[in-house]
Amino acid sequence: MAACSGGGDGAENQLPLTNRVWLTSVPKKADDVVGALVVFEAKGRRQFGALYHGSLLRGTFELFEWQPDEHDGRARMRLLQDDKSVKIRTESCEPDHGLDACILLHGDPLGAVRYQSKRIWGLRGRPAISSPLELDVAGDVRDLLQADPELAALLAEET
């Protein structure tokens, strides 16, 4: 599957893994706990990302370097805090109603397996990053909320 390398395989409901927000589920309330995965293309053919687990109000994240393997659907995730490498295998799955793509991420260090995304959750127009320290997970979540009326309504209810 081309999702590991960030490419597309031409399948109708397949979206590239990179430069997109992937969620374990769509929150219905601001305090619903979800997992999120973001992998960014970086300068020099490197890729960095973040795993997030929490709600819109509180959570934890883990920054990583993403190293696609030449074998489709395989990658290595190097967790930057611990310098620990984790083998990852991805495969496509059927998305829930209202979502456009689904991936199974076997080996996720936070324990999540199934991530889904919508076409409008792509993070377009941002320059490639040079370092994982340039990642702005909170800013990307804010951008996602503004781009998706369903999620923006969630935040409006909390204010």
Q: List the chain domain ranges.
A: 2-158
What pLDDT digit, counting tens, does each position of 33-74 carry?
999 999 887 776 778 889 999 888 888 889 999 988 877 789
Q: Residue 18: its pLDDT value, please?
A: 87
Structure-token match 């979206």, residue found: 15
CB-based burial label for 5 (10 Å; 0-12, 13-18, 19+): buried
CA distance 1 to 101: 13
pLDDT value of position 89: 92
Say what the pTM is. Answer: 0.80
C-alpha to C-alpha distance for 144 and 132, rounded to whole angstroms? 20
Question: How many CB atoms are closer than 10 A to CB 139?
Answer: 11
| Sign of CA pseudo-dihedral 80, 84, 85, 86 | negative
Which residue numbers in the chain have pLDDT < 50?
A: 1-2, 4-13
Contact present, 20 and 123 (Cβ < 8 Å): yes
State the CB neighbour count (10 A cutoff) for residue 45: 8
Our CA dihedral for 9, 109, 41, 146, rounded to 10 degrees, sits at 90
CA 156 to chain centre: 24
Question: What is the predicted pLDDT for the residue at 133?
Answer: 65
Cα(49)–Cα(83) distance, integer angstroms = 14
